[in-house]
Structure 1
């Protein structure tokens, strides 16, 4: 089952990107590119959600609908 969490992505002065989420406590990811940061954040989110399930303290996220909007960022 796919679920959706909101990420806050910030470009740091060092040129790296930092992702955090109010939806998933403890999620902090850092990468050299937005794509890398998103990939790391996805892996961390999965591990955090699995750990919470094992402790029986689930985080309730919204399920992804069949149709949804997604922001597409294009650099030129």
Structure 2
């Protein structure tokens, strides 16, 4: 089942991007681009959520809706 995980991405002075999430403790991902950072964050979130499910911890994340709005970053 798809879940919505809100993440925060910031550009570090070193030029890389860092993603964290208050909704998924332990989610930390770093990449050279926003797209790469999102891809890594998605994998980390999936693994963390799978581990929580194995321990039968409560999952408080909202299910993904039919329509999801999010910002689209375009490099021009």
**Which interval holds the TM-score relative to the shorter structure?**
over 0.9
Deviation at 1:58, TM superposition (A): 2.9
Count of matched residue positions in the alignment of Structure 1 and Structure 2 = 76
- Where structure 1 has 5 or more consecutive residues not aligned to the other structure, the ranges are none
| TM-score of the two chains, using structure 2 as the length reference | 0.93
Tell me the equivalent position of 1:13. 13
Give, in whole Å, the separation in 2 of the partners of 1:58 and 1:44: 18
Specify which structure has the higher proportion of strand: 1
Structure 1 runs of 4+ aligned residues shifted over 6 Å read: none
RMSD: 0.9
Deviation at 1:40, TM superposition (A): 0.6
Deviation at 1:73, TM superposition (A): 1.4
Cα shift readout 1:47-71 (whole Å, capped 9, x = no counterpart): 0000001111133111111122121
- Where structure 2 has 5 or more consecutive residues not aligned to the other structure, the ranges are none
CA contact (8 A) 1:49 1:58 kept: no
User: Residues 1-76 of structure 1: matches in 2 within 5 Å?
Assistant: 1-76=1-76
| TM-score of the two chains, using structure 1 as the length reference | 0.93
